[in-house]
């Protein structure tokens, strides 16, 4: 009975065996945040919110961190919500790249950082 089980599993190929272009890069961190600045050429500053419980008091705390991300096409504007992905170091501060603009902002909503 164990021989039959081995032959059945040996013939079947796993579904995830064929890597796609996205899978071949491996697992990369992704963050969603708000664009604070796009004043630099091909660079945006993204503010990412992190919510976590206080270690002792368990109150949920908001913490913010700014990431410099590469925006090749210059499509992100201040106030937009964007998705960024970890990449190789592109400069002294840039280690992230823009994946997509999740939500566009209207021109009437300025960002206060």
Where do the structural domains in the chain lie, given as residue ranges?
27-103
Question: Burial code of 35-57, b = ≥16 C-beta within 10 A, e = fewer?
Answer: bbbbeeeebbbbebeeeeeeeee
Number of Cβ within a 10 Å radius of residue 80: 20
- Take residue 108 and report the two structure tokens written for it: 């009437």
Phi and psi at residue 92, in whole multiples of 5°? -60, -40
Query: What confidence tens digit (pLDDT) does each residue in 50-108 have?
Result: 999 999 999 999 999 999 999 999 999 999 999 999 999 999 999 999 999 999 988 66
Q: Which residues contact 113 (CB under 8 A, 6 or more apart)?
A: 36, 37, 47
pTM of the entire predicted model? 0.71
Domain 27-103 has CATH 1.20.1260.10: no
């Amino acid at each position: 009975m164990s021989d039959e089980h081995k032959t059945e599993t040996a013939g079947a190929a796993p579904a995830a065996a064929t890597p796609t272009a996205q899978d071949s890069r491996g697992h990369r961190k992704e963050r969603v945040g708000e664009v604070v600045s796009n004043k630099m050429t091909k660079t945006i500053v993204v503010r990412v919110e992190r919510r976590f419980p206080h270690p002792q008091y368990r109150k949920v705390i908001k913490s913010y961190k700014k990431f410099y991300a590469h925006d090749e096409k210059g499509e992100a504007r201040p106030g937009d919500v964007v998705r960024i992905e970890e990449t190789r170091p592109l400069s002294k501060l840039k280690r992230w790249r823009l994946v997509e603009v999740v939500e566009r902002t209207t021109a009437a909503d300025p960002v206060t950082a």
